[in-house]
Structure formats: C-alpha cells, structure tokens
Structure 1
Amino acid sequence: MGGNARRSRPGGRPLRRREYDETDVRVRPGRSSRPRTKNRPEHKDAEAAMVVAVDRGRWGCVLDNDPEQRIVAMRARELGRTPIVVGDQVDLVGDLSGKPDSLARIVRVGERRTVLRRTADDTDPFERIVVANAEQLFIVVALADPQPRTGFVERAMVAAYVGGLQPVLCLTKHDLAAESEFAEAFEDLDLTIVYAGIEDPVEPVLELLDGRLTAFIGHSGVGKSTLVNRLVPDADRAVGVVSGVGKGRHTSTQSVALALPNGGWVVDTPGVRSFGLAHITPDDVISAFSDLADAIEDCPRGCTHLGPPADPECALDDLPGKERRVAAIRLLLTAINTNDPWFRGGQTTTI
C-alpha cells in the first residue's frame, strides 16, 4: 500500500481525523493555585495533658482532669519536629478514649518551667532533654557496691541548678555502709540528703516526693529501680502499661513517669554512664545561687570564678562569711571545667 493511501473503515468509507476544540482539554490545577496560610488551627476544644512516656513517634499521655486515663498520641503536622519529652504539658485533640488502637494528636506544647539537660560528653554540642517541668532531681547514689562517685553527683547538681530543679542526694545501700563521710562533701551547698537503703524507712522519701514531679537519675546498679518499686506499688506493671505506647521498646531504655499513690510523679530514667555539661558555662552555675549571682557582675571579663591563681581578681573572694560556700561551689565549677572521667563519674572516687 502506498504511503499516501488513506486508511478506511470496513466497508470502504475512509477514516476522518478527529477535530478537537477547547471542550476536549482538561486542565489540572497546579499546586500553587490553592492559597496557602500560616495560620494554625486554634483547637479550642483541646484537652490539657502531661507526657508520661515516649516511644519513637508515639507519646503516652494522661489527662490533667483524669490522671487514670492513658492516651497514646502522635505529634500534629503543624508542630513539625518540635521536641516533646516526658513531663511536657501538652494539648490533645482527637480520640481521647484511651481504647486499644486509638490515637490522639498533640497540637500544642506548653512553655517549660524547668528543663533537665545533659550531653553525651563534654565535647558533644547536642543537648538531650532528660525531663521537662520536674521540680526536683533525686540523684541516687549507692554508698557501696559500686562505691559512690563525687564527680557524678557534682555534675548532676550543676545540671539541676542551671535547669531550675532542686537537687536531692538520695543514698542507697545504707545497710552495706552504715557510716559514710560521702555526704559531708556537699554540706556547704545546703543539699537535702535522704537515706533510702532497703532497710531504711521509705516515709521520709515519700514526704519529699508528695505532690511533686521528681526525676530520678543514677548509675546502673545503685538501687534506683529497687527504690522505685518500693515507692510505686506494682511499678513493673505500671511501667509496662504507661510505656507501651506503640512499638514495644524495652522499658529500661527510656524515661517513664509513674504516679505515686498519694499524689505526685516519679520519672524513672535509664541508668547513665556519664553526665556531659557541654551546654553549661561557669556563669550559668553561679547565677543559680541567688546569694552569689550579683557578685560576679564585678568579675573581670572571662573570669572562670575558680579563684587564684587562675582568677586572681574574682569577686567571689571578696564575700565575707561565704568562704566555705564559695569553695563548695568552686568544686562544682571544677567539675564542668575538666574532661577527666573522675569528674564525669567514669571511675570510682573516694573522699
């Protein structure tokens, strides 16, 4: 068949080219045709809650008006990558029934009153928020097996003071070391000290925890979990319920808030090996002590407040009657100015 031959239908009638007009054209709207806005929904019907557990993209929460109700929530898209940690006050919308497979949304995160931060080590610029809005930090230390480490306590105290928390030194395994000079190292800092060995009464500890949100930190093996089990009946079961918010991660790898029988919360954190303070400066530490904060305004620029010979003109040396307190605080400053594992808690120390 020649190249100019016309195609034809069966029966001999030639095919005609189809003619198109504008009615045959379908225009798909572009992405830019929809007006965009930065106004976020107000969610006026959102319910206030507290975050009690975090598990890889899911948050376990309890409503402020119903602490018994456990709700699993996700982060709303408008929050982007806003960090949300245990202790955060949040607003929830969606399914608040708490039924299996139900999922609410976190649409707002409240301003934090206090923040406990740490870094992996003193060279790591990335801050990790351990817990938000806690009023106290229980620094759990064993008097024996393992031996207590002053450096770790000092660093944890620094993080607490700077973050707005009140530190409490909680000494366990009192039955293995009934007499100890360890606590004397901190007496000039007005540090509250409580004994919580297996044979010590638990009531003094409960009095300090009553009605407050308290974070517990400590090295592995110091008896922190044993103490939590004494304070919170059925703590093992409670941890499984609260922290099982979606992916089944082992509970020892995450922080979880547990309700105390008479009110208040205990935030049980994983055992730590070190407490990095890369985010904290000497001025941050001094500013946490109201009786010393004004004095450093007279220090020369760049003063580390460690005193002679490093800082011969430090204004802290001119405070009458504060010599022992200044010396104690300078131990805290020394702890954040060295990378020695002795201060990070990596090695056993004695006094």
Structure 2
Amino acid sequence: MSRTQGGGRHLDEDDIRVRARGGSRPRTRNRPKHEDAVEGMVTAVDRGRYRCLVGGVPVVAMKARELGRGSIVVGDRVDIVGDLSGRPDTLARVVRVRERESVLRRTADDTDPVERVIVANADQLAIVCALADPAPQPRFVDRCLVAAYDAGLDPLLCLTKADLADPDELLRVYEPLGVPYEVLGPESGLAGLRARLEGRTTVFVGSSGVGKSTLVNRLVPGTDRAVGHVNAVTGRGRHTSTSAAALPFEDGWLIDTPGVRSFGLAHIAPEDIVEGFPDLARAAEDCPPECSHQPDAPDCAVQAALDREELDPDRVASLRRLLASREGETDEV
C-alpha cells in the first residue's frame, strides 16, 4: 500500500479483492461414470423435470449438471440414478442421454435458424388432417411429409371428421405417392389405425383443431389429453395440449404433441425438400444445378413437365411455395 503526497491513501493492485469462483474445491475434468445407472424412457418434459418410465415405474428426474445445456426430449432413452422408487416427492437424476435413432425437428418458420427437436426415437409420423372444420391443409401435410422423410420416419396420413366431408379429393393428391392413410369418423376407422400403430413408436402432429388429441384419447381411453373447439369466425383451433407426452400402446408408443400453426423447414436443405416430393423429384433430376424450380427458372425440367401436363399443378405449387418461403417470402399453411 502507498500514500499520496497529501497523506491520502493511494490504491494499487494489491488492494483489489478477487472473489473466488466456484468455491475452493479444484475443478476436474473427470466426470462420474455412474455404472449403476438404469435405463429409462422420457415420457414428458415439464419445466426442467423429466417424467421417465423405468422398468414400468414412473419416475420424476432432473438433468445432471454434467450434461450441460443440451436438450432432453420426449422419446429419449436415458440413464438415470438416484431414487427410482417413483414415490411422491422423490427425484432422480438423468446422467446420460443415449444415442438417438431418429430426431423429428422443425423451426418456427422457414427463415429461423434455430432447430426445435420435437421428439426422439420415433419411427412413424402420423399426420392428422381434418376433412372439414377446419378445412384440409395440404400444404401443412406436405411440410410434414418433407420432415418425415428427412428424419427417416414412415409417414401415415390420418384424415379425421369423415362424417363432415368426403376424403376423395384430398386422397387424389396423395394416393399416387403411396402414403398410407386411414379415414376416421366418430365411430369408424379406429380398427385399421390401431393395426398400423401396433408395435411402433408413432408421433402425432397436426394443426390446432383437427382432432388430434381427441383421436389419442379414443386410442388410449383414460388419457384425458386436453381437447378444444374450432373458432367459427377464424376457422382455427385453439392450442390445447401444451406439451408432448408419450403413452404406451400395443407394444409400442403414441406420442401426442401440441397443435401447431406452422412447421418450419429451415433446417432442411432445398435439394432435400425436393426429395420430399417424390412425384416431382424425378423431373427435377433433369434441372440445371441450383435450379429454383420457380416458373421463371431457366431450363427448369419441372416447369417443362408441368407444361406437358405430366405433373399435378397443386403439388408443383406447394413445392414452389416451400422453396420460396426459405427466401423470406410468406407461405401460410
């Protein structure tokens, strides 16, 4: 310590107090191995708590600090330690996330760089689309098909509210693609759907109000997934399920997800989006490199095939909207 000429105190670096970080314990790169960890499956996520099924016992767990900031989602297979009794007010710890076999992702819109993982380890995507109330949304279906192919999931088209409208017009668009489908009314179609779900891990996606959670409640009675009604003025449904949930079903799983109004594909490259339209991809193979496939694109083979009436104009229009939306243009579902 030193003093100024006037007798006042002059501070130097020795007077600066440095606050210790993280306590006095030395940090180590050695992480616990947790050889005694038990495998479980994440069935729901709620505000930092993970509901897991461990050997048939429902357990609530938190994420271990050593896992960092990585996300854990419904469908993840994880290793858990701690109190696995499942008794009230007990809490275990997720210490490892096992390698995922598949990941279904979306973005908020087609220009958002942030991916959102919806579920892990599913093998089938059930795309729920109402035939009326609200009106069918084929562009939303197309987006989900692209996401399914990108994730390696088998798509399944579930057409609800068959008592209100005929499915033939919508089926005309998708039957040539070989996409399996089930037409569902209030009292019909459930047996065929059950057979397609047996032994599989199926994630259900759909716009709000299409009857997705109602369908899940019919398949798994007593589930009580929240359902809502369609606004008569806007034609839109209200978001009812607020989080994803996995439910055991016929040697497999059903994963219900919250209703969405958009299914962004910013994480999928344009050429992979084209691959999501197998009826158009063959024609696109003859396009010049980096072809936009828009009407004014030079030497576009898709446009040439469309001029020859070899392609469905609605499908071409849907592809073009998806590709254009990645450039910042609007594409409402």
TM-score, normalised via structure 1 length: 0.74
The alignment yields a C-alpha RMSD, in angstroms, of 3.3
CA distance in 2, matches of 1:236, 1:271: 16
> Which residue of structure 2 lines up, in the alignment, with residue 348 of structure 1?
none
**Deviation readout 1:4-25 (Å, 9 max, x if unpaired):** xxxxxxxxxxxxxxxxxxxxxx
> Which residue of structure 2 lines up, in the alignment, with residue 216 of structure 1?
204
> Which residue of structure 2 lines up, in the alignment, with residue 252 of structure 1?
241
SS for the counterpart of 1:199 is: coil
Measure how far apart 1:178 and its partner are.
Answer: 3.3
Measure how far apart 1:36 and its partner are.
Answer: 3.5
Number of corresponding residues: 296
Instruction: Tell me which of 171, 175, 178 is aligned to 1:190.
Output: 178
Ranges in structure 1 where 5+ consecutive residues have no aligned partner: 1-28, 240-249, 346-351
TM-score, normalised via structure 2 length: 0.78
Higher relative contact order (CA 8 A, sep 6+): 1
CA distance in 2, matches of 1:70, 1:213: 18
CA distance in 2, matches of 1:46, 1:314: 56
**Deviation readout 1:75-110 (Å, 9 max, x if unpaired):** 001001111001111111111111101111111111
- 1:142-291 → structure 2 map (5 Å cutoff): 142-236=130-224, 252-260=241-249, 262-286=250-274
Please say if residues 275 and 281 of structure 2, whose CA atoms lie closer than 8 Å, have aligned partners that are also in contact. yes
After TM superposition, what 4+ stretches of structure 1 lie above 6 angstroms from structure 2? 29-33, 288-299, 315-318
> Which residue of structure 2 lines up, in the alignment, with residue 333 of structure 1?
319
Q: Does 1:60 align with 2:46?
A: no
Q: Does 1:46 align with 2:37?
A: yes
**Deviation readout 1:143-173 (Å, 9 max, x if unpaired):** 0111101111111111111111111110000
Instruction: Tell me which of 297, 312, 315 is aligned to 2:299.
Output: 312
Measure how far apart 1:259 and its partner are.
Answer: 1.3
SS for the counterpart of 2:241 is: helix
Measure how far apart 1:30 and its partner are.
Answer: 9.6
CA distance in 1, matches of 2:39, 2:21: 39
Relative to structure 2, which stretch is displaced further, 146-155 or 228-237? 228-237
Change (3 A) 1:313 1:229: closer
Structure with larger Rg? 1
SS for the counterpart of 1:74 is: strand
- 1:30-109 → structure 2 map (5 Å cutoff): 35-63=26-54, 66-67=55-56, 69-109=57-97
Measure how far apart 1:254 and its partner are.
Answer: 0.6
CA distance in 1, matches of 2:265, 2:21: 50
CA distance in 1, matches of 2:304, 2:29: 54
SS for the counterpart of 1:336 is: helix
Please say if residues 214 and 267 of structure 1, whose CA atoms lie closer than 8 Å, have aligned partners that are also in contact. yes
Ranges in structure 2 where 5+ consecutive residues have no aligned partner: 1-19, 228-238
Please say if residues 154 and 335 of structure 1, whose CA atoms lie closer than 8 Å, have aligned partners that are also in contact. no
CA distance in 1, matches of 2:135, 2:240: 26
Change (3 A) 1:140 1:59: same
Change (3 A) 1:331 1:135: farther
Give the percent of matched residue pairs that are identical in Structure 1 and Structure 2: 55
Measure how far apart 1:315 and its partner are.
Answer: 9.9
Please say if residues 303 and 314 of structure 1, whose CA atoms lie closer than 8 Å, have aligned partners that are also in contact. no
Relative to structure 2, which stretch is displaced further, 135-144 or 179-188? 179-188
Please say if residues 189 and 328 of structure 1, whose CA atoms lie closer than 8 Å, have aligned partners that are also in contact. no
CA distance in 1, matches of 2:285, 2:96: 38
Measure how far apart 1:303 and its partner are.
Answer: 3.1
SS for the counterpart of 2:324 is: coil
Relative to structure 2, which stretch is displaced further, 52-61 or 217-226? 217-226
> Which residue of structure 2 lines up, in the alignment, with residue 6 of structure 1?
none
SS for the counterpart of 1:156 is: helix
